[in-house]
Structure 1
Amino acid sequence: MAPFSLLSVGAHVLLKSAGLFSSASVVRCSCVVPVIKTFSTSARDPPKRPLTAYMKYVQDMQPTFTRQNPGTKNVDIVRKIAQQWRGLTPDQKQPFQEVSLASRELYKLALQEYKAQLTPAQSAAIAEERKQKLAKRKAIRKKKELNTLGKPKRPRSAFNIFMAEHFEEARGATMQGKMKSLTVDWKSLNITQKQIYTQLAEDDKVRYKNEMKSWEEHMTEIGRDDLVRRKERRSLKATSTIDRKKSNVTVLKAKATKKKTSVKKTDSGAAAKKSVKSTKK
């Protein structure tokens, strides 16, 4: 394959040269890996992360696969490339891994230069933005996990039920316009008309309460107490403690009954022996 020879030569030049990060080396690297040209020290344009060996392979092979498979969806093209990547030998993957390693070293230098020219206010703003992105990503992952575990959907309000029922025929060309018209229509309803949706909302609350109770009991059984609400967790622990106490009481009663039966048998046996002895006399 053509990309192997091109990348292997470039990687060899990059890694063999002692002055890898000299200006001449950067020029040679930009000829082999054009994406490095996008590095910038502007406060508004931080350096882009370098591609991994696999992503570099995908980038190089995608045009060829697209030409060979016209009309194929992009996701299927990537799937074919991924399958071919898994079939490559370590020697065939090595050129891409070397280029990825060289790109990472260049990225580190560019990142250091970028951070050095930031003001304290810019650094603080970037740190806060990163914190918010991580929190958002974490929330999305948790939501996906809860959906996978089958967490019940929260109950809908009376207005939400009304909106879902009348959204299609609502006035307005955009979603915002439809929401506005539905809000106006909801406010114009009388108490009797709203009562229907209020009752449906109450029923949905009961549904949610029952489903959540069952779901949280199941989460406790599989060892996911962290997903159980704090109040319910205490309730479940209290119930479990009561059940254990009842079980212990039942066991103690059974043992006491067994002991009494055993004593009675012993006493009756002793009485029988005495009776036999007196008869013999």
Structure 2
Amino acid sequence: MTLTEMAEKPKRPLSAYMIWLNDHREQIKKENPGIKVTEIAKRGGELWRALKDKSEWDQKAAEAKDKYTKLIKEFEANGGSKEAPAGRKRNKAAKKPAVKKSKKKAESEDEEASEDESD
């Protein structure tokens, strides 16, 4: 693959639960007509926790992770960065605006500065 084909960093693989939920979402909707999206996820979580044998889904998740690992290695070998692309997933410190001084503090600093100048 060329660098232009690999311009986007591969997406992280789905967990076993998400693979299972994607396969069972329509069935949950059929069994619960008119169910809301949030309730589908809630019901899916209940069914997933009650599921005894999750090995099929764990295996699919492991395969997806192996595929992702290979894609990431190719991506990095072709010049891709290990960091998230610009504009995506910034850390919280980058989001915070600069801290503004309180009005009182700014006034007291102004007074101190004017006193220093008059000395």
**Do structure 1's residue 76 and structure 2's residue 39 form an aligned pair?**
yes
Residues 1:115 and 2:71 are matched in the alignment: no
Q: Is the 8 A contact 1:54 1:96 kept in 2?
A: yes
Gaps of 5+ in 1: 1-40, 141-201, 206-281
Equivalent of 1:105 in 37, 49, 66: 66
Shift of 1:57: 1.0
| CA-to-aligned-CA distance 1:175-207 (integer Å, 9 cap, x gap) | xxxxxxxxxxxxxxxxxxxxxxxxxxx9xx9xx
Q: Percent identity?
A: 27
Match of 1:273 in 2: none
Q: 1:43 & 1:49 partners in 2: Cα distance?
A: 15
Q: For this pair of structures, how many residues does the alignment match?
A: 95
User: Aligned AA for 1:135?
Assistant: N
Equivalent in the alignment of 1:53? 16
TM-score, with length taken from structure 1: 0.30
Q: In 1, Cα distance between the equivalents of 2:37 and 2:84? A: 35
CA distance in 1: counterparts of 2:16 and 2:93, whole angstroms: 25
Identify the structure with the greater helix proportion. 1
How many Å separate the matches in 2 of 1:139 and 1:54? 31
Residue 83 of structure 2 aligns with which residue? 127
Query: Deviation at 1:128?
Result: 6.8
Alignment of 1:15-30 (within 5 A): none
Taking a change above 3 Å as real, the CA distance of residues 70 and 137 of structure 1, as seen in their structure-2 partners, is farther
* Deviation sequence 1:71-93 (CA, Å, 0-9, x none): 1101001100100111111xx11
CA shift at 1:60, angstroms?
A: 0.7
1:136 Cα deviation from its structure 2 partner = 3.5
**How big is each residue's C-alpha offset from its partner over 1:119-161, in whole Å with a ceiling of 9 and x where there is no partner?**
xxx63xx737469724148868xxxxxxxxxxxxxxxxxxxxx
- SS of residue matched to 1:127: coil
Deviations 1:204-246 (CA, angstroms, capped at 9, x unpaired): x9xxxxxxxxxxxxxxxxxxxxxxxxxxxxxxxxxxxxxxxxx
Unaligned runs of 5+ in 2: 97-102, 105-119
The separation in 2 between residues aligned to 1:88 and 1:51, in whole angstroms, is: 18
TM-score normalised to structure 2 length: 0.65
Q: Which has the larger radius of gyration?
A: 1
For 2:6 and 2:93, the matched residues in 1 are separated by 24
CA apart distance, 1:47: 1.7
Instruction: Give the direction of change, closer, same or farther, for the CA distance of 1:105–1:138 in structure 2 (3 Å limit).
Output: farther
**Aligned match for 1:85, one of 48, 52, 55:** 48
